[in-house]
Every structure is written in C-alpha cells, then in structure tokens.
A and B are shown apart, each in its own frame.
Chain A
Amino acid sequence: MSVSTIAEFIAVLLMLIGAIMALISAIGIIRFPDIYTRSHAATKSSTLAVLLTLLGAFLYFATTTGFVSVRLILGIVFVFITSPVAGHLITRAAYRANVKLADTTIEDELADVLKEKQQKEGK
C-alpha cells in the first residue's frame, strides 16, 4: 500500500463516518418529542456530518489528483458558520409563535424572563 492509497482510504472513511452521523441525526429528528430537542439534533449532528463529508472529499481530491479545492474549504467554513445561526433563528421563531414544549419539560425560564420584562414595561 502506498501513501496515496492510505490517504484515500482515510478520506473515504471520513465520508462514511459523516454518513453514519447523518443517520444518527435523522433518527434524532424523528424520535425526539418537541421542536427544541429536534432542532438540537438537526443542527449539531448534521453540521458535523457535512463537515466530515466535505473534509473527506477535500482530502480525496488533494491526495489523488493534487487539486486543492478552495470551494470545498469555503463550503466547510460557510456551513460551520451558518448552520447554528439557522437553527437559532428557527427555534426563536418557534418560541415566538408559541409552539408547545414537550410534556416532560420541567421549567421554562425564558417565559418567566419575558413576563417580568412585560410587567416592567407596563409600569
């Protein structure tokens, strides 16, 4: 086995680990009880899946053809920055639209803070 074959194998292994991570996040999005836990599963683990897969593709092209793709690096950075922001925005919009929490939720601290703020503004 040459060095190129080993690097190729590692790149493809990274992509396979990314695919398994994507399957775990999909199981999370179908099994969790309410939207906040679902967004927890959907943003974190699918971001990691995409990062691993794009890193594997980058390593594959860099070792087999010697082509260092700037677009893949930009894609990795962009997904890493924007995916948590998208999750934050959807969760905030869901809370403002009064989507119910799960029945097993013990306390909702944001509701208390918002109520106190409304009382202060009312005075």
Chain B
Amino acid sequence: MIEPSLALYGDAYARVDGHIQELLDTTGVRYGLLVDRKGFVLSHKEALWAPRPPALDSVATLVASNAAATAALANMLGERTFSEQIHQGENGTLYVESVGDSALLTLIFDVSVPLGKVKVYAKKTVAQLSAILEELKDIPPVQFTEDFSHGASALLDDLLG
C-alpha cells in the first residue's frame, strides 16, 4: 500500500524527542535524528554546544538510501537486514541503528566520544523509541477533506505559477 507518510507530532514525538535528548546528554553525541525508511526526518535533536548541523533533509535521505542499499545487500547474503551500521571517518562517526521496521536512529558524533558507550546507550534508546512507534500504529489515520485539497492546490499555484 502506498500512501504519503504522515508523521503525527505531539505527545508521542515529545517523548521521542525526550529520549533522543537524553541520549545526547549522556553520551556527548552531536546530532541525533529519527529518520523514517523513506528518508523523511521524523524528529531531530542537536547538542547545544554543537555547530550548525549539515542540511538534515540531505542527511536523512542519504542515510535512508544507504540503509536501503545495505538491506538489499543483506538479503543477498541471506540476512533479513543489517540492523546496525557504523561509518567511521578521521574526525567523526555516523552510527545508524534500525528502530523497528520503519525508522532509523541516526547519531553523529566526533572522535572524543567512545563508540562503545554510544552503542550501549543507543540500544536502550532504540528499545524506548520502537515502543513509541509501535503505539503510533494504532492511532487512526487523519481524515482530509476537500478543503485540504483546495488549500494545497492554491499553494501549488503560488509555488509553481
């Protein structure tokens, strides 16, 4: 079934935010994002001391495509998926872990942060986040009316002429 991914913010996402912030505080990670498998940012947090993050839309898209590509690789190797990916550079690390089947927790941190520590705490956060995402599945989908369609069309006219 194809449908536009609809991210409902509010209470559930306030809790997601809280868990990501907590992870950032305990580990010293710079940026923490929850990205869905289609490449949309569901939630993000950055450490107060960290410099401005790179374009998060681009990060999310690349992380999701990367995960999709490695999942295809995993299938070829007889795995269902690779749940965890670590990309290590000279100055920093990108750590991605699956949260359930639909999202990815993405953490970006520099060399001063030990990877082992991040892994330990991230696992805990992943469990909390997947519980929240699980709850969200039961929320009834939002109903859109004709007005919505008209309003959106008007905006389209503005944007595209």
Whether chains A and B associate is no
A-to-B contact residues, CB < 8 Å: none
